[in-house]
Structure 1
Amino acid sequence: MATYKKRGYKPKTKVEREAKIEEGSTTAEVFKTLDTGASKTEAWVEKNQKYILGVVGAIAICVLGYIGYEQFIQEPKEAEAANEIFQAQQYYEQAMNATASDSLYNLALNGGEGKYGFLDIIDNYGGTSAGNRAKYYAGMAYLNLNDYQNAINYLDGYKGKDELTGPLAKGAIGDAFVQLNQNDEALKYYEEAATMSANGVTAPRFLLKAGIIALKLNKPDVALKHFKTIEDNHPDAPEAARAEIYVGQAEAMQ
């Protein structure tokens, strides 16, 4: 059983005196070890002071440089690019609603009235949001001009993170590959487009296209899976009625 020793307690027996000495030695050794460790740390810091200050300074310079770049270079460039792309978008929208649209798509791509086209935006503002959007529009314009390889090139470079244009870009690449008679590649892109978003617009659209191409590739199991997904997940979509018809065709091919 442990006993409480009051402050100033003096050991009376030999055993108590030895225990007191040992306790004092242990405490002294602990402080000595701590002092030694602190001294080594101080020595290391002193020895490597220039290196440490250099690293800290480099980090500070990088942070300040990044903030300065964003504030004084990137933000003004973003605003300028957003202004420059406006006319090209106008041409593109006009082309979508026009009967003879080739000239308008070309104006959208190459510019007109002293304004940049999408290709100029990509070249001059490639690192901006507008430059990224220009790749999408350029790819779609080339697709409508039946220039399928350029359509693939620009659409593949588009970084679409939203639920609409991202799947539309991938699906359009699939359309281009169909026109180039590369159905295996088309199927891959249709399937990717269908899984990029579960919305009721793009998902059933590209599931249906994937299923139809799978039938052409003599892959009825794959086709049936896509058609069934439309029926199960998007029963109210316009594609659901067509998928029901294709289900019978896929089952007959199995």
Structure 2
Amino acid sequence: MATYKKRGYKPGTKEEQNTAVEDHSTTAEVFNTLDEGANKTEEWVARNQKYIFIIIGVAAVVILGYLGYEEFIQEPKEAEAANEMYMAQQYFDNALDAQGAQSDSLYNMALTGGQGKFGFEDIIENYGSTKAGNLARYYAGMAYLSTNQYQKAIEHLDDFKSDDEILAPLAKGGIGDAFLQLDQPEEALSYYEEAATMRDNNFTAPKFLLKAAMTAISLGDGEAAEEYLTRIEKEYPESAEANKVAAYMGQAQAMQQ
């Protein structure tokens, strides 16, 4: 156990003197060991400094390269892609208000371009890594869905990645719509279920719960349909879909008798 000694204290007995010598010797050994360790570290650094500088240099290049890429390449590319999106979006919006062949023509122009401007497919190909390129996948998927090109709709909507409150479930539900048109109701139902639970809002959740209920009825699963419809009644009573629950609830319950 260490004992505190006052300042100026001198060992008196022979035993105390021997202890003092041992303490001094031990301390000296510790410092010698530290000096030796420091010398070895310095020698190692001296021998390997070339490699150390290379590693530091590579790290600096990576960091500076990333910052430069973001500032001088990615940001201008984002702005350029967003600018290219304008005309394609105009064609898409106009197609929503049009009818029949005119609507199909506008969707195709939105997809392939017109008046010397890119369509969604061009934007995906040239700016796929940008936010606009990702959004173009959503628009393209919906345009293909509206023009009965269901497999392409599924591919583009599946590639679309988003955390958006509305677009994310709409894309997922759009895949369900495409599968339903391809006469694959089981797959459609699974996508409607997923779309209904992705976000808890008064627009997409009841929309896809109702589609799930209708699909379940078509599959002869009245019990599942009743569960979806009951959720609309209880959780989204103010939604537009709540007004349609009664009509489908009768069918769902009749199937269980």
After TM superposition, is the score higher than 0.5?
A: yes
Alignment match, 1:47: 47
With over 3 angstroms needed to count, the CA separation of the structure-2 counterparts of 1:3 and 1:130, relative to structure 1, is closer
Counting matched residue pairs gives 254
Helix, strand or coil at the partner of 1:48: helix
Alignment match, 2:76: 76
Q: Does the Cα contact within 8 Å between 1:85 and 1:121 map onto a contact in 2?
A: yes
Q: TM-score, normalised by structure 2?
A: 0.90
Q: Distance in 1 between matches of 2:206 and 2:51?
A: 59
In structure 2, stretches of 5+ residues that fail to align are none
Helix, strand or coil at the partner of 1:108: helix
With over 3 angstroms needed to count, the CA separation of the structure-2 counterparts of 1:25 and 1:120, relative to structure 1, is same
Q: Which moved more, 1:84-93 or 1:223-232?
A: 223-232
Q: Distance in 1 between matches of 2:131 and 2:4?
A: 74
- State the 1:132 CA deviation: 1.1
Q: Which moved more, 1:183-192 or 1:20-29?
A: 20-29
Deviations, residues 216-245 of structure 1 (Å, cap 9, x unaligned): 334444434333332332121122243355
With over 3 angstroms needed to count, the CA separation of the structure-2 counterparts of 1:227 and 1:24, relative to structure 1, is farther
Letter of the structure 1 residue corresponding to residue 157 of structure 2: L
Letter of the structure 1 residue corresponding to residue 96 of structure 2: M
- Mapping of 1:1-254 within 5 angstroms? 4-100=4-100, 101-247=103-249, 249-254=251-256
- State the 1:246 CA deviation: 3.9
- State the 1:198 CA deviation: 0.8
- State the 1:249 CA deviation: 4.2
Q: Which moved more, 1:15-24 or 1:47-56?
A: 15-24
Aligned alpha-carbon RMSD (Å):
2.1
Identity of matched residues, %: 61
- State the 1:162 CA deviation: 0.8
With over 3 angstroms needed to count, the CA separation of the structure-2 counterparts of 1:168 and 1:35, relative to structure 1, is same
In structure 1, stretches of 5+ residues that fail to align are none
- State the 1:31 CA deviation: 1.7
Letter of the structure 2 residue corresponding to residue 157 of structure 1: D
Q: Which moved more, 1:74-83 or 1:5-14?
A: 5-14
